[in-house]
Structure 1
């Protein structure tokens, strides 16, 4: 019983202390007041503005002073100060530099609040102007190129540039309270406040102009890469892709790649005659990936939004994973990286082919790759469901120098260096009864 009496007494004590606190600072008590001692009369976008405000109350403790900046009705910047004592408080508030905001008048709002949640506000109109930068800098790696002012908000630099220029733009601090402003790449647009490089590109290397508008953020040049009049999507600086429905025998139009004549063209998918390209695989949906660093196209069969797989009826796709083969050259060998698996071209009648030149896309005397049902581990062809009658390339069985299903070159034999070979997997007799032929062209 004594324990419960003590607990009750302690609870009463806590409640009493709580009541004293509520009594000391009741909601609605006090009368906070502001004295704007130092407040800017005008500013530029991108400024950091200093202010000094005196705060007091009639015996009630203060809580916070908020300084807020509004563009129209939008809160764009805020600075909060804890006001533990009466007196003067100083600070800075940033004036954001944003696209497509014309010169105009913003609103500075000062909000003082005490511990009783009572507030007082004062506002001041703040005329804002966009800085008239004398120049900008285009920063590309360790190089800085001065962009001269053309007119209005337009700046440009003309130099001997490579086809692709990876850099960001920097505006110098402007005026007494200005800050350096960086313009970089975010998503697929130029954005202030970042140094992520902007992927400028031209149709060819040489003397050309890079431009930027500090009001609209319009920038140039950007080359648009298109296949069949549809723009490719950028993955990174060297990789662009597109998913297309393609028809066998139809002409493929490639636009925007200035040095396309130097690219390696995969004859399994594209027949090249001068500057004309014709699609060679069966009609269907394909992902085409342009690899600018290696100058070739990866073509892969699709099923909806997924990579195609080999269906039970023999339609779909067959993939190559393993050593001794790679496109556009052996320097880009597939290996056992499933992400680099090669999609054999579906040529109809449930047949799939890959064409390679010995010594260039396939090793002449040492191969160790196999055929899979998907662009990943899973279904695969082994010696119990894949056979060949060839006298140079054989199918491994686990005891003949290769794992089951892995291809090898017969001992003492070799593919002829420089000769073209066509590997065809035929599953028209059933997925469990596949035939491999290797033909020298």
Structure 2
């Protein structure tokens, strides 16, 4: 009987022990948060330091999260590992966003233990936009102070060139503030960038460069570049384009390019008289004009509808040049090479004739050329030796065994182009695309 009682007592003990153990392992715990930092107000753009006492007497803690909400949207978060009860400190960034007015944000503290039990505490955080005493425009030539005109409005009024590139920085405001920068991203002013904003005015001289720190509106962007009244669209900081119809012989008027008199005028497309008057030379049609400010070069390319022209079966359209030993405005700065993006469009002169001219030693290498004619601005159709011929005693057409690949041009052995002389290359397709004739004329 005693044996049976002992067994029963042992079984009861095991059951009680198991019950206690199960209860311990499933206890949710009780995480407690006690903020030790009081926030009366803060600025957008601040980095706010905070201190919090955390504890859970039953279950080990896991993490403390500080989350900042504008309305219902969480805009910032910091996660802190909480290995033990005690005091923890952190710093949370208050985003400085465009078009967000002063108001009250919510700072939420979320404490979690290893059993995933969570406790939260919300703190109202009044926010105001910082009132910067000034801003600074940073350019390659130096820094320019932008004075405060009104709330959020700043301006630098100085003698500037017509094009100014730079970013804007704002000073730290208050003990928790940060210096901020505003640059150019995706064709708009963006916080945190130092990419240069492409300010531009219609002319050099005294004018104002302005910026609004509330809506990020900046000025001026007076891109008054135009060809025959058609405003050019921005491609990037250094290139602008316009697509328009030209009539053979009509005047060409370029507006807004301050130093245009120093630009390269492509003699295949535009003539310039002693008075600076420009006239269009090729056949009537639609063309793309690209102003390349790096090269100071107006690139003209034939178009067909919304795209660049290609050679058509009847010999109309366009002929393109890709290869070595040629480049506009010169080979030193812009050799075409085998980069199809640099392909040159021969001027369509009418009657299925296409022309390119240039100066030996400048447009053409005087001693070595290796380019060919293509049907498009890119790889695809091309003129091989079976499709094109020439009677020139200066330039030959490669056949694959004479020192040039099929269709590539070269300078006859023992000869060179006369440095400084102008040469005109004409491709005549009047007999058909497979019977092209190349003529080379020295002016």
Tell me the residue number matched to 1:353. 355
For residues 263 and 201 of structure 1, the distance between their equivalents in structure 2, rounded to whole angstroms, comes to 19
Distance (Å, rounded) in 1 between the aligned partners of 2:389 and 2:323 = 18
**Equivalence for 1:14:** none
Residue number in structure 2 paired with 1:342:
344
Question: What corresponds to 2:13 in structure 1?
Answer: none
Please state how far the C-alpha of 1:168 moved relative to its aligned partner: 1.4
Deviation at 1:42, TM superposition (A): 0.4
SS at match of 1:339: helix
Please tell me whether residue 383 in structure 1 is matched to residue 385 in structure 2.
Answer: yes
2:35 aligned residue? 36
Question: What residue number does 1:320 align with?
Answer: 321
The Cα shift of 1:43 comes to: 0.5
Q: Deviations over 1:387-429 (max 9, x none)?
A: 2234544434456665543334556766666554432212232
Distance in 1, matches of 2:47 and 2:300, equals: 52
Change (3 A) 1:48 1:25: farther
Q: Which moved more, 1:198-207 or 1:401-410?
A: 401-410
Asked if structure 2 preserves the Cα contact closer than 8 Å seen for 1:45 and 1:95, the reply is: yes
- Residues 58/251 of structure 1: CA separation in 2 closer, same or farther (3 Å cut): farther
Between Structure 1 and Structure 2, how many residues are aligned?
419
Return closer, same or farther for 1:290/1:142 CA change in 2, 3 Å cut-off. Answer: closer
Unaligned 5+ segments in structure 2 are 1-18
CA shift at 1:306, angstroms? 5.7
Quick one: distance in 2 between partners of 1:323 and 1:79? 57
Query: Structure 1 residues 245 and 231 mapped into 2: Cα distance closer, same or farther (>3 Å)?
Result: closer
The one of 410, 433, 436 aligned to 1:434 = 436
Q: Are the structure 2 counterparts of residues 69 and 385 from structure 1 closer, same or farther at C-alpha, using a change threshold of 3 Å?
A: same
- Mapped contact 1:64–1:82 kept (Cα < 8 A): yes
> Following superposition of structure 1 onto structure 2, how do residues 291-330 of structure 1 map, counting pairs within 5 Å?
291-302=292-303, 307-330=308-331
Cα distance in 1 for partners of 2:324, 2:246 equals: 32
| 1:167 partner SS | strand
TM value normalised by structure 1: 0.83
Q: Distance in 1 between matches of 2:21 and 2:351?
A: 87
Specify the alignment match of 2:372 in structure 1.
Answer: 370
2:356 aligned counterpart, secondary structure? strand
| Cα separation, 2, equivalents of 1:307 and 1:401 | 32
**Partner of 2:177 in structure 1?**
178
Per-residue Cα deviation, 1:263-318 (whole angstroms, up to 9, x for no partner): 2222433455745654734424x443221122112223345676543344433321
Q: 1:366 to 1:36 in 2, by over 3 A?
A: closer
- Provide the alpha-carbon RMSD of the alignment: 3.2
Q: Deviations over 1:213-251 (max 9, x none)?
A: 22222222323134443441232x322334x25344466
With over 3 angstroms needed to count, the CA separation of the structure-2 counterparts of 1:127 and 1:384, relative to structure 1, is: same
Aligned mates of 2:407, 2:99 — CA distance in 1: 62
Q: Is the 8 A contact 1:370 1:381 kept in 2?
A: yes
Taking the aligned partners of 1:21 and 1:261, their CA distance within structure 2 comes to 91
Cα 1:26–1:426 change in 2 (3 A) is: farther
Hey, what does 1:136 align to over in structure 2?
135
Higher Cα Rg, which structure: 2
* Whole-angstrom CA distance in 2 between matches of 1:21 and 1:191: 58
Over 3 Å counting, the alpha-carbon distance change for 1:382 and 1:138 in structure 2 is same
Q: Which residue does 1:118 correspond to in 2?
A: 117
Question: Partners of 2:24 and 2:299 in 1: how far apart?
Answer: 75
Is the Cα–Cα contact under 8 Å of residues 47 and 94 in structure 2 kept in the other structure?
A: yes
Give the Cα separation in 1 of the matches to 2:323 and 2:339.
8
Cα 1:414–1:65 shift into 2, 3 Å: closer
Are the counterparts in 2 of residues 39 and 50 from structure 1 also a CA contact under 8 Å?
no
Rounded Cα–Cα distance in structure 1 between residues aligned with 2:327 and 2:163: 27
1:200 aligned to 2:199? yes
Distance in 2 (CA, whole Å) between partners of 1:136 and 1:146 is: 6
Matched position secondary structure for 1:156:
strand
Task: Give the Cα separation in 1 of the matches to 2:255 and 2:356.
Answer: 26
